Structure 1
Amino acid sequence: MTRFGYFLLCEEHGPRALVEQATLAEQAGFDALWISDHFHPWNHAQGESPFVWSVIGAIAQACDLPVTTAVTCPTVRTHPAIVAQAAATSAVMLGDRFVLGVGTGEALNEHITGEPWPPAAIRLEMLREAVEVIRRLWTGEVVTHRGTYFQLDQAQIYTTPTSPPPVYVSGFGPDSIRAAAEIGDGYITTSPDPEPLARFRELSSGPAQAGTKVCWAPTADEGVEIAHRLWGTSGVPGELAQVLPTPQHFEQAGELVTTEQTRKAVTCGNDVDAHVAKLQEFVDAGFDEVYVANIGPHYREMIAAYGEQVLPRLRAG
């Protein structure tokens, strides 16, 4: 049976609001949590970007839901050894209910250290090596590593969970989907398209997670306005989303995205049937876990409505 989780948007909410949403999601009957990992928001209107590992620590004390990072880039901004330590501590605090979701990242977050932003093929090679390093460190043994992209000198993690956290890998194109199957324990994506999922399942029996965003609001029109103002930049196409370096650049590119495009892409308003239909697309595609984020200020109403109406209908089939 499909599990349903709530997606915490660090780009849009401060740490206290994120912890509040996590507790409300647990009370409403959601099964798990996703949480994004950013240094910058996508645009200035979103206006937040707390440090994800601090927020996870607070969530671990506030509720008992499993948490997946969706997703962490363990290559440029943050060395894989530091990600390994942070993830191990998070897994301990969450009682082994933690999944490290990883991906190749975006320049938006990763360029900040001044390092060059590599092309996609190199970023994928870096991710493969990073996951290898992380898994070795989780053994608790002393690790010295002289790799193509990363170096470790007698590194050892002392605080480790009873078992290593699963690693799920984000993938959209054929190469990243293949990497998810080869180096990951599971797969992460944001589209209900069944073809990439089928490609992954040809190569792996691991679970597949998917996430989406909706905008709960008193009317659909108000929801569209909120969604377009805060997340219209999600409509920026193709490789641009991986190479644009600043929120200002995303705002400039986002001017090409129309309100009508946002209306078609995001389920807006308070029509329960529409919200059920949106998540049902992912269920029908065959995903094991589906996560949903709420755009905008009406997250309390959204979480309550999902707990009372949307999730029961989805679980009833």
Structure 2
Amino acid sequence: MTRFGYTLMTEQSGPKDLLRHAVAAEEVGFDFEVTSDHYFPWLSAQGHAPYAWTVLGAVAHATERVDLATYVTCPTMRYHPAVVAQKASTLNLLADGRFMLGLGSGENLNEHVVGDGWPAVDVRQDMLAEAVEIIQRLFTGELVTHDGTYFRVDSARVWDLPDEPTPIGVAVSGEKSVERFAPVADHLVAVEPEPELIETWNATDGARTIGAGGARAIGQIPICWDPQEERAVRRAHDQFRWFAGGWAVNADLPTTAGFAAATQFVRPEDVSAQIPCGPDLDAIVDKVRPYWEAGFTDIALVQVGGDSVDEFLRTAAGPLLEKLRAAAG
């Protein structure tokens, strides 16, 4: 059965609002909740960037049923992988085993703040692979010393661990990254509904099979529900026109000013062609459909616009979930 989740967008809401949204999303029936882990919003119009891990700790305490995950954390620059292992384990204890650590190679927007520059994509993938190795070793509870290409760890141990190691999902975007991370990750994370990602993952030696083998494929899609379609289009263009750039562009831009400049010629109709806008729930279902048809087991929705989230969760989310589950089967 396809599971549907809600995204706690740290770029568009403050910490107390995110906590309220998390509780409401659980009450309305979402299966899981993921959170972005950003130091900057994409655009200044979004206006927020609280610390995701503090928010998740509060969410773990305030919720009872929903699974939780980072979507995604970069464990290579802003955070050292030894610190990521510690905080992921602590969070999973607070969540009673409901937490998955979602990892990725990061974006310049968030990682440049520590002043270490921005490596080429191949280097970032190498750093991520080494970081995953360190984190998994620390998840065993053993004393770890590591002298690698990118990271040193000196006699580190995570003392507070859940009964079972915290599962790790890794963000992938193509055949090369799938083949590299499928053997070491528990779950696949991706933002494009490409069936080739699932097929390559399942065909990779050492990978857990998605679905039957217990691995999950977790996707994400923005929507902009609103009773008024015109207002939804305006809001999506104001706050989410960066989405039109694609991963290759979005990973490298360093500031909100850079995203504003890169998207200055993106029109409202360009955004609404990618993001379903307005009150039509069936149109939203049609946009989400390619994910489960591609083989994704979990799909997280992003409601665009922090000021619209309360109304969305109160009036539209329940009926939308019913339609999504009926369509997905």
Which residue number in structure 2 is paired with residue 107 of structure 1?
Answer: 108
Answer yes or no: is 1:219 the counterpart of 2:224. no
Which residue number in structure 1 is paired with residue 56 of structure 2?
Answer: 56
Going from structure 1 to structure 2, the CA distance change for 1:103 and 1:145 (only over 3 Å counts) comes to same
The amino acid of 2:92's aligned partner reads: A
Which residue number in structure 2 is paired with residue 66 of structure 1?
Answer: 67
Which residue number in structure 2 is paired with residue 26 of structure 1?
Answer: 26
The amino acid of 1:256's aligned partner reads: F
Which residue number in structure 1 is paired with residue 184 of structure 2?
Answer: 183
TM-score (norm 2): 0.93
Q: Distance in 1 between matches of 2:285 and 2:246?
A: 26
Which residue number in structure 1 is paired with residue 325 of structure 2?
Answer: 315
The amino acid of 2:314's aligned partner reads: A
1:85-124 correspondence runs (5 A): 85-124=86-125
Which residues of structure 1 form unaligned runs of 5+? none
1:119 deviation in Å?
0.6
Q: Report the 3-state secondary structure (helix = DSSP H, G, I; strand = E; otherwise coil) of the residue aligned with 1:277.
A: helix
Q: Distance in 2 between matches of 1:48 and 1:213?
A: 17
1:305 deviation in Å?
4.1
1:175-254 correspondence runs (5 A): 175-203=176-204, 204=207, 205=209, 206-254=215-263
Which residue number in structure 2 is paired with residue 130 of structure 1?
Answer: 131
Deviations 1:121-155 (CA, angstroms, capped at 9, x unpaired): 11101001000100111111111110110001111
Q: Distance in 1 between matches of 2:106 and 2:176?
A: 15
Q: Distance in 2 between matches of 1:299 and 1:274?
A: 19
Which residue number in structure 2 is paired with residue 285 of structure 1?
Answer: 294
1:238 deviation in Å?
5.0
Going from structure 1 to structure 2, the CA distance change for 1:306 and 1:4 (only over 3 Å counts) comes to farther
1:307 deviation in Å?
4.1
Q: Distance in 1 between matches of 2:318 and 2:250?
A: 35
- 2:274 counterpart (256, 262, 265): 265
Which residue number in structure 2 is paired with residue 303 of structure 1?
Answer: 313
Matched-pair identity in %: 39
8 Å CA contact 1:28–1:306 kept in 2: the answer is: no
Which residue number in structure 2 is paired with residue 39 of structure 1?
Answer: 39
Which residue number in structure 2 is paired with residue 12 of structure 1?
Answer: 12
Which residue number in structure 1 is paired with residue 212 of structure 2?
Answer: none
Q: Distance in 2 between matches of 1:164 and 1:238?
A: 30
Runs of 4+ displaced beyond 6 Å? none
The amino acid of 1:272's aligned partner reads: L
Going from structure 1 to structure 2, the CA distance change for 1:238 and 1:16 (only over 3 Å counts) comes to closer
